Each structure stands twice: as structure tokens, then as C-alpha cells.
Amino acid sequence: MKTRILIALLCGFAASGTCLAETLVVDDQLTLRDSTVDRPKRGSTMTEVEKHFGAPAEKHPTVGQPPITRWDYAGFSVFFEHDRVIHAVATSG
């Protein structure tokens, strides 16, 4: 069930196009601001990401079909389908 939800969310992000914003929630109020975090571009390979950004702090196990993998870096997470970036999300920690 979690895999289906993750895939649905990722598909929604992919369909929304590239955006450079961070989502902040303060006192239950949702706010968007421009992101300054350098993140991998959609379509980059795992090799390209690791070459440019170095080894991730954490590599999560692959889940689902098609296989989705998440790498965590300081300040952002990268989601891959097979070996290609499908989304990179700025994180708060």
C-alpha cells in the first residue's frame, strides 16, 4: 500500500513539471518559497548524480514495480526509477 501511494505521489510530481520551490508549514499554514538547493536534473543517471554530488548519506532499498529507489543527501532526496532521476526534493534536514 505504501508503495502505491509513493508511486502515485511521484507520478504527480513528475506530471507537474520542474518547479523550484520549497514547501514550508508554519503554524498549520502552507507557504512556498523559491529553492536555492542545487539538485539533480530529471533524467540524470545514478552514476551522474554520484559523480556530481558525491555518495549519498543514505541509500534506501528499492521498492515496487517499476523499481523506485531513494537516495538522501544533506538538504535533498533523489528518487530514481530504474537508474534515472524522476524527482529531487529539497528537505529540511
How is the chain split into domains, by residue range?
A: 2-90
- List b or e across 54-76, with b for residues whose CB sees 16 or more CB atoms inside 10 angstroms: eebeeeeeeeeeeebbbbebeeb
Distance (Å, whole) CA 48 – CA 34 = 25
User: pLDDT (tens digit, 9 = 90+) per residue, 67-86?
Assistant: 999 999 999 999 999 999 99
Note if the pTM is more than 0.75: no
Residue 61, pLDDT score: 97
Nearest in space to 47 (alpha carbons), one of 15, 20, 66, 71: 71
Q: Which residue has the higher pLDDT, 90 or 40?
A: 40
User: pLDDT (tens digit, 9 = 90+) per residue, 40-60?
Assistant: 999 999 999 999 999 999 999
pLDDT of 7 strictly over 80: no
Task: Give yes or no for a contact between 29 and 35, defined as CB atoms under 8 angstroms apart.
Answer: no
